[in-house]
Structures are given as C-alpha cells and as structure tokens.
Structure 1
Amino acid sequence: MRGSEYSILLRRIRAAGLLDRNLRYYGWKSALTATAFVAGWAAFFVLGDSWWQLGVGVFLAAVFSQIAFLGHDAGHKQIFASRRANYLYGLIAGNLAIGLSIGWWTSNHNRHHAHPNTEGADPDVMGILAFSGDRARAGKGIRRVIFRYQAWLFFPMLLLEGGSLHYSSVRAVFRWPIPNRLWEGALLAAHGVGYLSAVFLVLPPGKALAFIAVQQGLFGLYMGCTFAPNHKGMEVLPEGDNTDFLRRQVLTSRNVRGGFLVDTALGGLNYQIEHHLFPSMPRANLGRAQPIVAGYCAEIGVPYCETGLIESYVQALSHLDEVGRQTWTPPQLVD
C-alpha cells in the first residue's frame, strides 16, 4: 500500500496542473530581481566614498539572496523544461552574479533531497552542527565545544556562511567532478574579480573591508535564516534508514505559515514539504499544492508539520540546544 501512496498524491498534483512550467512568473521575478541588482550597484557607484555604502551592502545582501533563490529553482529545473536552459540560468545567477557554483550546489543539494535529515547521507546534517545526540557525543575538541553551545552560536556563525559558500564553490571547481569545470571556474573568477575591483576602486581599504563584511555577512545570515526552519528540530533518520519516499520527505520537513511577505522573504522554501515531495514544481505553485498535500497526509495518517515563522525558529533552536546538552555525560554514581 505504502509504495502506491506517493503515486496517488502525484496523480492529484499533476491533475491540478501544478507541475506545469510557469515562465510568466519567472520572467517578471527575474526582471525585478535583476533590476534590484543593477540598482544596488548603481547606487554603490553613485555614493562613492561614503559610510552610507554600508546601507547599500545591506540591500545587496538581500538581493544576492533573492538571486540565490532563483539559482536554486533553476538547479531543480523549475524554470525551463530544458535541462541545459536551467543550467545556463544557474550559471548566470549563481556563478556570475553572486559567486556560487551551480554545479557544486546542485550536486550537494540533490544528496540532501534524496536523504533529508539522514545521518551519513545528508550533507546538511554532517556539517558544523549536531542534529542528533549520537553525533553530539562523538564530537571531540573544538567541535565538541561548538556542539555544546550550538544554539547560542547559531546566528553568529551564520555571518560566516557567505564566505563558506564561496570557498566551497571554488574548492568544488578544483576538486569535484562537476561538469563544465572551465565555465564554472571562469564565471566564478569573473564574479570575484568584478566584485573586489568595484569595491576597492570605489572605496578606501577600511571602508571596502567594512562593506564586504556587512554585505557578505548579512548574505550568509539571510541564507542561513531561510534554511533554518526547514529541517532543524524535525525527525532525524539513522544511517541506512529505509523509510518510504513520501514519509521520508514529510516527516523530516517543516512548513512555515505566512502570506506574500513570508513567501517572498523565504523564496518559497517555507513550503518545504511540498518542495521536497515535488522538487521540480515551480515556486509559484507550491502554495496551491499545500492544501492538497496536507489533506492527503491527513487522509493516510502522516503527521504534517506547519508553524509560524517565530515558532519555527524556537523549535529549531530548542532542538539544537537539547542536542548540544548531550555532549556532557553526567558522572556515574558509585555505591
């Protein structure tokens, strides 16, 4: 029976036309985001040597994140029917515009989608944070300290996430078997040279470094805050788990309620359950799919988690704190 449950849901989603491409949506979304990108850099050059540039850095951090969301959608083939067209879009949005390798991201992210919150398989739960007590207790040295205080360190560490994403992209070009390595590397280099040249030609060194710190720090913070509600605090599956596809995706994911502002701010990833069940579904259709998926989960008795934005962070941080406390094992009482 379980093997057919996802097929039943898939047929309902297809019948509603929710897997059809939505070029009109991505057309105006791309145009608005590109306009904001150009406007941000235009303001940067017009302002010149000024501490007001830090405000531009805040704005561009948000714009970079919106471009990342579009690159994410292209990586999942949500925009075009053609694999090549989606990849080219991802190269422009990811590698050239914001300095993130679409080839690295797609490879890494697809592993996450295949095994969300699964130890030993999901790269997102094998990073700097511990999602389970076993991983927390296995930590040694500085990693153990980070695990212990990870709930408190979470937001400060996100300020370094932008740099980590750039580093991982460059490393992947040299070390990972990603396709089109030459183009990936060339466009990453073009972004890096263009970004640093613009900043250091317009601003003196001190202000330039402050601008980079604000812009890249807030970009990483924004990205991390977008992904934090999705899986943290949800069920963590053991290595080798064989839960069926539908339950594996639903039980490990959390939706975040909200209207247009939340949908825009989180890039549609607040519909995390629907996105995991149907990764190629265009972002604009996720909200329409939500009642169908929630109703079907209720029909077959699968828990469906949906919270408000603040509550999602409370649940995620509470889980990180609870896991972190397990790094310390109380001494055994001796009779």
Structure 2
Amino acid sequence: MTASHALAANATWSRALTLPPLGNLDAYISAVNRLPMLSAEEEQAYARKLRDENDLEAASRLVLSHLRLVVSVSRQYLGYGLPQGDLIQEGNVGLMKAVRRFDPAHGVRLVSYALHWIKAEIHEYILRNWRMVKLATTKAQRKLFFNLRSMKQGFKADAGAADDTHRDTLSAAEIDAMARELAVKREDVIEMETRLAGGDVVLDPTPADDGEAAFGPIAYLADTRHEPTALIESQQRDRLASEGIAAALDTLDARSRRIVEERWLKVNDDGSGGMTLHELAAEYGVSAERIRQIEVAAMKKMRHALAAYA
C-alpha cells in the first residue's frame, strides 16, 4: 500500500469512528455502507494483532468493517414487528463477541464466523421481547419459532397465493411436512401456529386523545378481592352497617328510633317496607309532616353519630 493510500485509508477510518447514533437509523445505515471493506490479508493482520497484542484499534477496524453485515442480517427479522434499530444494536453485540473470539489461525473469513454470533444475539432479543409471555423455551421450539413463518410463506407461494389474507391457516399436509422437516411433533406445529396467529392485547391502554378513559382487559382481569385497601374498606362498611347503625340508633329517643326503624330498616315477609308517614302520624296523633320532620332530625343525628363512630 502506498503512502497516499495509507493516508486515505486512515482518514476513512477516522470518519468511521464517529458514526451517527442509531437513533438516526437512515444516517447510520448510510454511514455503515460507506465503510471500507477489509481484504483477506488486512483482516488476518488485524485479527493477529488483536489476538497477540490485544490491540483495541485492530478490534475497532474488524468491527466497523462488518457493521454492514449486521444491517443486512437485521432486515431478515423485520417481520417480528421490532424496531430495526434495536435489532441492529443487538446484532452489533453479537458481532463484537465474534471479533473477540475470532481466531485467524482457523483460515476462515470473519464474516462466516460472525454470522452465527449476530443471528444468535438477535434471536435472543426477539425471544425476550416479541411477546410478553415467552413463546419458545426448548431448542426444538426455538427452531420451530424462527422457521414456521418462512416455511408458511413458502407454502403460500407454492399454492399461488399472492396475499396472506387468501389463506391464513396451514393445511393438514403442510403441518405434517413442517413437522417432518423440523423434527418436531405435529402437535407442536399446531400449537406454535396458534400462538403466532394470536395478536398482542394491550392490558392497560393509554387514555384516548379526547381525554376519555380507555377500556382494556386489565379492568376485568384485576382481582381486588384480596387487595389490602379494598379489604379494609369492606370491613369498615360491614362494621358501619352493623355496629355503627346500632350505636347511632342508641342516640335516638324511643319515638324517633321507631320512626327510623319503620321507615328504613323494617322489611316484611312479603318484601314490603314498614309503616308509611300517614300510618305513623295516625298512631302518634300528629300530622304526617311532623313525622317527616322527626325523621329528618333523627337521620341527621344518626349521620353525626356514624361519622364519629367511623
């Protein structure tokens, strides 16, 4: 390499070390695609410097020259609805792990070795974040998770379906073929297809733009029967309805107490209430309006007594 070429290469790498942040995804991808590729000889030289001398500058050159690979791999996983910037970030972590473990003595290019690490890191991120309840746990389930979508698209293409809406479910023959190819049970394919077909549900939605409260499943999924505050309030209501009412009635004179009991607390066998204002008025020899006044005064006195009791 001539001196002028070396100076140009160093200038290019200096600009590369100041890549735009992932928040500006288009600018980041554009900058990554302008980074120079390493020749096999340069890659070997940098890899040996990293292995033998722990040269961080060599590590940076190896990582930066393969960032475009991470961008390319991330595009394969856009169908899971996760931000590409996050996929790239996780893939970059895998790339750095690959660079750290890469041994130039094996005689393979870094791109072949790093591909496994990049995909593995992206896979883990998808499994952690694609569903609130994790879909895949065993190795076979993970294989099925990442292959079912692409295989299903292949079946649709073979059948000549131009649109996913034409046929969303797998046929019995397709399920059997998928189970054989992926070495899993037929029931596992059916279960994973059902889980993947289910949409996400927002349990606690944000309020609407007009300020109205948004209704979500959390409203009827929440069990407040054993919530401490609800239990205390329930116990207080029960105590007021029994001991509190009894204590409030004790503050009344005999006539006021009987009027309140007849008007509000008495229930006959046929479901009807107690005596009317006119019946009580006839019994005490006063007007119905007077009975009403006594009732109002008694209820006011009881409310004060209940407030003090609470």
**What TM-score, normalized by structure 1, do the two folds share?**
0.20
The structure whose Rg is larger is 2
Q: Larger relative contact order (C-alpha < 8 A, sep ≥ 6)? A: 1
**What TM-score, normalized by structure 2, do the two folds share?**
0.22
